[in-house]
Structure formats: structure tokens, C-alpha cells
């Protein structure tokens, strides 16, 4: 995983790639959370296989790509047998509109990488500052330096994150990755950082994207603040039930 999907931490792929290359081991990385957000260089990082999910970089849903290094070459088995498209890796007619859209999305993301990254960092810092000004101490889970710009995972002591989300139907925040949205268990990622169940259960993930504005960030921070204050005082709608 090039970037963790819950806390946005950038993994040391160049170091990992060097270890793998030295041992003659092929390295595959899931770059769904990284592509279009940070610089990725398959040569500098010694990456042999790299997968991308298009909608994570604003391409349409339903399209992705797999980079396969030619030397050393991974001997892959076909996902589907049939006509032999995509050099025999996956048979089936290519969705041309989706393929073109993915290429265009990648081009736009690369062209805006530095500028958009700076903008997202400023929004994230604004969210942290406003929450701290409103609530006092909050906990940011994971490094802020080795993190993609559009991710913030933050904990609020004494607050049940599931209950907080129920108080904020207007906001698209989560307690973990979308892949595990049906789970009510504390995040295994946060527990791996050393957080106990209570701390992990009080944390939410907040994302910032290309269309997020400063006004939305300020409004969201104030809505979260109000919900937490009500939750802690026992005046939340959930508590009233």
C-alpha cells in the first residue's frame, strides 16, 4: 500500500523497493490512494507492479490500471481467458471512454499536483486550527509530515465516533476506510498505531478534495464542534433517544 487509506501515511516505497530488489523479490504496490496525490516514480522506487483505481483521481468509476515492469518481468496469470486482449492479461473489450478519461484525469492530476497539494494542506491546517480553537486538545493520528495532503484522521477524547457521525448526516466523514464501512469494530489501523479501543473508537477520517472550499472547511469544523459539545453534555439527539 503506497499510502494508507485510513490515515493517509505515505509508505517508504523507495526503501522497501531497494530491499526487494536486493533479494530478487518483485514488489507490487496498491497506489489507489497515492496516484495523483504524490509523486510516484516506478524506477526510483524499484516498483515492479503498481495498481491504480481511476475514481480516486477523479476519473469515472469502473476503470483502473496495472503497471507491469518489463524487466524483471512478472509472470502473471490471466484474470479472464478469451480473446487475449491486454497482452493476454485480461480478455474483454476495452471501455474506450473510461480509458481515455483515466488518461486525462492522470494528466490533470500531474499538472496540478504541487499547486493542489499546497491548497489541500492549507485546508487541512485550517480544519485542525479551527477544531483546536473550538474544542481545545484534539489528537491527530499519524504523522502530518509523511501524509498525503487531503487526509486528516483525528480523535476527540470521550466521544463515540459512530454517534458523532449519526449527529452529522450532512457531512461525509467516516470511522475508517470505505472498504470496512459496515464494521463497528475499532479501526485495526489505529490500533496498530498503539491506540486503545476507546481512542480508536473516538476517531474519524476527514477528507479534502479538489472541490473542497475554505468556507466548507470552516462550516464543517463548526458543525463537528457543535455535535461534540452536545455529545459531551448529553444533549445530542442520540442521547435524547
> Hey, which residues are catalytic here?
179
CA-nearest of 183, 228, 136 to 239 is 228
Query: Residue 151 forms beta bridges with which residues?
Result: 207
E-strand spans in the chain?
28-30, 49-53, 64-68, 139-140, 151-155, 203-207
Are 90 and 78 a contacting pair, CB within 8 Å?
Answer: yes
64-68 and 139-140 beta bridge pairing: unpaired
Alpha carbon distance 83, 86 (integer Å) = 9
Amino acid at each position: 500500500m503506497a499510502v494508507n487509506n485510513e490515515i493517509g501515511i505515505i509508505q517508504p516505497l523507495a526503501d522497501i523497493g531497494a530491499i526487494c530488489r536486493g533479494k530478487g523479490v518483485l514488489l507490487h504496490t496498491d497506489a489507489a490512494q497515492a496516484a495523483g496525490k504524490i509523486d510516484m516514480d516506478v524506477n526510483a522506487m524499484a516498483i515492479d507492479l503498481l495498481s491504480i483505481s481511476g475514481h480516486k483521481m477523479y476519473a469515472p468509476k469502473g476503470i483502473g490500471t496495472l503497471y507491469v515492469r518489463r524487466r524483471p518481468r512478472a509472470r502473471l496469470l490471466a484474470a479472464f481467458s478469451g480473446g487475449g486482449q491486454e497482452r493476454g492479461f485480461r480478455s474483454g473489450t476495452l471501455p474506450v471512454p473510461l480509458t481515455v478519461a483515466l488518461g486525462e484525469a492522470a494528466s490533470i492530476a500531474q499538472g496540478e499536483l504541487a499547486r493542489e497539494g499546497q491548497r489541500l494542506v492549507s485546508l487541512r491546517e485550517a480544519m485542525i486550527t479551527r477544531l483546536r480553537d473550538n474544542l481545545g486538545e484534539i489528537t491527530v493520528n499519524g504523522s502530518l509530515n509523511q501524509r498525503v495532503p487531503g487526509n486528516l484522521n483525528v480523535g476527540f477524547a470521550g466521544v463515540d465516533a459512530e454517534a458523532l457521525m449519526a449527529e452529522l448526516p450532512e457531512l461525509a466523514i467516516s470511522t475508517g476506510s470505505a472498504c470496512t464501512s459496515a464494521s463497528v469494530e475499532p479501526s485495526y489501523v489505529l490500533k496498530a498505531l498503539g491506540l486503545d479501543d476507546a481512542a480508536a473508537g473516538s476517531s474519524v477520517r476527514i477528507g479534502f478534495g479538489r472541490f473542497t472550499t475554505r468556507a466548507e472547511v470552516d462550516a464543517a469544523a463548526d458543525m463537528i464542534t457543535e455535535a461534540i459539545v452536545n455529545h459531551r453534555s448529553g444533549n445530542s439527539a442520540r442521547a435524547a433517544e
